[in-house]
Every structure is written in C-alpha cells, then in structure tokens.
Amino acid sequence: MSSRGSFASKFGVLMATVGSAVGLGNIWRFPYQMANNGGAAFLLIYVVCVFLVGVPAMMAEFVIGRQTHKNAVGAFNQLAPNKAWRGLGYLGVFTGFVIDSYYCVVTGWTVYYLYLAVSGSLLGNSVEGYDELFSTFAAGEVAPIVTIIIVVMITSGILVMGVRNGIEKVSKLLMPMLFMLLIILAINSCCMSGAVEGLKYVFVPNFSQIGFDSFVGAAGQAFFSLSIGMGALITYSSYFGNDVNLTRTATQIAVIDMLVAIIAGIIIFPAVFTFGVTPEQGPGLVLKVFPVVFTRMSAGYIWSVLFYLLLFIAALTSFLSITEVVVAYMAENFKLKRWVAASMVGVMFIILGACASLSFGPLKSYTIGGLIIFDMLDYLASNILLPIGGMLTSLFVGWRLDQKIVASQLKVESPSQYKFFKVYIIFLRFIVPLAVGIVFITQFFS
Ligand code: TRP
C-alpha cells in the first residue's frame, strides 16, 4: 500500500473531492435545468434529492474506497471476490470512458471561449452572431479537436505528477480561486438592474411548472453533480487518510456543491433578466447567451475573462477525477507506470473525444434513436449508467458488505451514532435504491 498515493491533508481531501463535484454540472447544467423546470421549485426538489439520496450514496462509495485503498475495479474484487458484484468496478471504468469522451469536448469549449475572451474577440456580437459562432465552432473539424488535445494533455500531465503533487496541489490552488471568482461574479450580478427579478427567479418557487420530469431531472442532476455512480469517489477516497471523517466530508461536499450551483444561478439569472435574454435556452445558456450579456455589460471584457476562467477551472478539476478512475485502474491492474497509464488513457480520450466532437459536424448523420454520438453518450451516462452504478453500489454496501466494515469506516462508537448508523443502513437498503429505481424506470415511460 505504501507505493500508492494518498492525500496529504484534510484540506487537500476536501479541495480535491469538491473539485470533482463542482464542475460543468453546477455552472453549465444546473442553471438550464433550473430554467427548464420552474426555477426555485426545482431547487427545492434538488435539495431534497441531494440529502435523501446523494449524501448516503456518496458515503457508500467512500466506505468502499477507504476500506480497500484500491481503484474501483480492485476495490470490488477485494470485497466480493468471485461474485457478480465485481462487475460494478468494471461498470465504473466503462462509465468513466463514456463520460470522459464528451466531458472533454465541453471542457474544450470552455478553453476556446476562455481564449476568445482573453484575446478580446468574444465581445461585440449579436444574439444570432453568438448562436452562429458556437454552432460553427462546435461543428468544426480542427479547432474543437485542438482544444480537446490541450485539455487531455493538461489533465494527463497533472495525473502523472501523482495524487499528492498532482491532483491535490492543483485542487488546493484552483478551488479557492474558483470560490473567489464565484463570489466576485455574484456580487457583480447582484448590482445589476435585473437583480431583484433574477434573485426572485432563483429563490421564489413557481410550483405550476413542476412535473414528474422535474423529479427525474433533479435526481439525475444530483448524481451527476455529486460525481456519484462510477467509482470516482471510490477512487478518490482510496487516497483518504484514516483521520478523514467520511460522513462529515460527504455532507460538506454536498453543501458546497449545492451552494456553488445556487451561486451560479445568482450569477446567471440577474444578468439574464437585466440584458433581456430568455432563461429557457437549454445547454447553450452559458455559451450562446452569456456572451451577449458580457457585450452589453460595462467592463464586459474583464467579466467575461473571469467567467470563462471559472468555467474552465470547474470543468478541469472534474475531468481530472473522471480520468483518474481509468488511470488508477490501468496503472494498478496492469502494473503500469503512472505516466504510461496516463499517456495511454490520454490518447484514447483524444480519439473518443474527437468522435464525440465530430458528431456536431461530419459525423452528424451517425445517430442512434435520433441522438448524435455526443447526446447519446450524455444520455447513456447520466440517465442509465450513473443511476445503475449508484443504485447497485448502495445495495452492495447496504446488503452485501459486512456491516462491521461499514460501521468501522463511519467510526460508529457511541449509542447515538449507532442509531444514526441503523437509519443510514435503511437508507442504503431501501430509500436510495427505491428513489433511484423509480426515477430510472419512469424516464422510459415519460
Ligand atoms: N460532478 C461533475 C460536475 O458536476 C462531473 C463529474 C466528475 C462526474 N466526476 C464524475 C459525474 C463522476 C459523474 C461521475 O460536472
């Protein structure tokens, strides 16, 4: 075990796991999910999902990771040798491939927009102009792939440095920067003339727009945003020291992740209302709509640079955690040096990312069920693989894993902690699987 990496400090643990959780899911996906589902009402449902399902499922992954100190595949191999549960580890690595293939494309987009913002060529266009700019760029054959190569090279470079000198150092540097950017941008938004309207949109619920879909959306969003269901948290927690309190860490991450999503809403919606763009814009919200806002804003140059820097940092630290699942598996199970594993994984992701990216252009005609490759990967990961992975992991820890292991990882010592532990096991056995199962099945009928 000594040859394996580990995080050096509790602060490092928190920054790295928050780095994984806080990502495009918070700043890119959450605002448009909220916009499509009635604003504040969606937020309420989301908060319930995070605590009812998200936190218990996160803790389950932490228990597995720290108990075994192994990558996702190694962990299940150790805990359930020769049992079908072992498949869960491989499912995680497979899901990692699926998510990474399109996450690197979107991370690449953030690199491009950051470049446009810094070079000063982003501002000054019209609503239609930005729509066109995004569509032309995303459908291109060269530029998006160059950005993917940049993203993958940075990521592989950080991963080669290892857990402590790579992931931990970078997270400790970038995450505080991200929080500062969030606060500065939020204050700026709150000073706008549409602030009251925007804040109302975020905080005053409109229940008329809530449907069953909103529950499905909120549960899926919670899984994606908290990085649950593919062993990313197993892999990271395998580097945790024994002094890390798993319950507290899971709760902290959930709270911080949620706050970041809310702050992203506070940044985006006042601006959206001030500059008269409609909030219901789908995934293009921060790429197609936001440049218009910066163009009309005073000192738009600075704000646009800060905003796309924020988006890039958020995406990069999450991409890092997904990639680490695959790199740790390759390095440990095939006994490869980390740099060999990271380089191989890098080349694979460039190829897969290129395919996903080209599906906006030359490969547009390759569709399954009407979805282009990019959308198909997102659908497969968010709506199928992550819920299945998260549900089975909860069932595994709730029913199959020796409860003594779970109790010792969660440091259950006093009688009151024991009561809490009993409730927790009920959550893992029934509440999480039922909630995820219902949501999972109903999506096929809606
Ligand atoms: N949570 C990240 C986000 O909000 C994405 C992410 C990172 C992720 N690691 C993951 C999603 C593992 C699912 C599983 O953008």
With the most atoms of ligand 1 within 8 angstroms of its CB, the residue from 225, 235, 383, 393 to mutate is: 225
3-state SS of the chain? CCCCCCCCCHHHHHHHHHHHHCCHHHHHHHHHHHHHCCCHHHHHHHHHHHHHHHHHHHHHHHHHHHHHCCCHHHHHHHHCCCCHHHHHHHHHHHHHHHHHHHHHHHHHHHHHHHHHHHHCCCCCCCHHHHHHHHHHHHCCCCHHHHHHHHHHHHHHHHHHCHHHHHHHHHHHHHHHHHHHHHHHHHHHHHCCCCHHHHHHHHHCCCHHHCCHHHHHHHHHHHHHHCCCCCCHHHHHHCCCCCCCCHHHHHHHHHHHHHHHHHHHHHHHHHHHHHCCCCCCCHHHHHHHHHHHHHHHCCCHHHHHHHHHHHHHHHHHHHHHHHHHHHHHHHHHHCCCCHHHHHHHHHHHHHHHHHHHHHCCCCCCCCEECCEEHHHHHHHHHHHHHHHHHHHHHHHHHHHHCCHHHHHHHCCCCCHHHHHHHHHHHHHHHHHHHHHHHHHHHHCCCC
110 Cβ below 6 A of ligand 1: no
Amino acid of residue 190: C
> Of 98-102, 204-208, 376-380, which gets the smallest average pLDDT?
204-208
CA of 226 to the centre of ligand 1 (A): 6
Q: Mean pLDDT, to the nearest integer, of 332-336?
A: 96
Can you give the pLDDT at residue 2? 43
225 Cβ below 6 A of ligand 1: yes
224 Cβ below 6 A of ligand 1: yes
Closest-CA residue, ligand 1 atom 13, reads 227
Contact between 145 and 354 under an 8 Å Cβ cutoff? The reply is: yes
CA of 419 to the centre of ligand 1 (A): 31
Angle in degrees, 0-180, between the axes of helices 300-333 and 87-119, rounded to the nearest 10? 150
Angstrom distance (rounded) from CA 174 to CA 242? 25
Task: Compute, in degrees rounded to 10, the torsion defined by CA atoms 90, 358, 382, 104.
Answer: 70
Q: Which atom of ligand 1 is nearest to the CA of 22?
A: 4
Rg (CA), the chain: 21
What percent of the chain stands above pLDDT 70? 98
Q: Mean pLDDT, to the nearest integer, of 157-165?
A: 97
Closest-CA residue, ligand 1 atom 9, reads 227
CA 199 to chain centre: 24
> Of 126-135, 254-263, 425-434, which gets the smallest average pLDDT?
126-135
23 Cβ below 6 A of ligand 1: yes
Angstrom distance (rounded) from CA 429 to CA 393? 10
Can you give the pLDDT at residue 137? 96
Q: Mean pLDDT, to the nearest integer, of 203-229?
A: 87
> Of 134-148, 157-171, 282-296, which gets the smallest average pLDDT?
282-296
Q: Mean pLDDT, to the nearest integer, of 249-266?
A: 97
Can you give the pLDDT at residue 282? 67
33 Cβ below 6 A of ligand 1: no
Can you give the pLDDT at residue 39? 85
145 Cβ below 6 A of ligand 1: no
Can you give the pLDDT at residue 306? 95
Buried b vs exposed e over 315-341: b needs ≥16 C-beta within 10 Å?
bbbbbbbbbbbbbbbbbbbeeeebbeb
Question: Residue 397 burial (CB < 10 Å; 0-12/13-18/19+)?
Answer: buried
Closest-CA residue, ligand 1 atom 6, reads 227
With the most atoms of ligand 1 within 8 angstroms of its CB, the residue from 27, 91, 99 to mutate is: 99
- What confidence tens digit (pLDDT) does each residue in 30-63 have? 988 888 788 899 999 999 999 999 999 999 999 9
321 Cβ below 6 A of ligand 1: yes
318 Cβ below 6 A of ligand 1: yes
387 Cβ below 6 A of ligand 1: no
Question: Which residues sit opposite 372 in a β-bridge?
Answer: 367
Closest-CA residue, ligand 1 atom 14, reads 227
- Between 429 and 214, the higher pLDDT residue: 429
CA of 444 to the centre of ligand 1 (A): 23
CA of 66 to the centre of ligand 1 (A): 20
With the most atoms of ligand 1 within 8 angstroms of its CB, the residue from 95, 100, 318 to mutate is: 318
Please give the angle made by the CA atoms of 183, 188 and 190, to the nearest 5 degrees.
95
Can you give the pLDDT at residue 205? 86
Can you give the pLDDT at residue 446? 65
Task: Determine phi and psi for 333, rounding to 5 degrees.
Answer: -80, -25
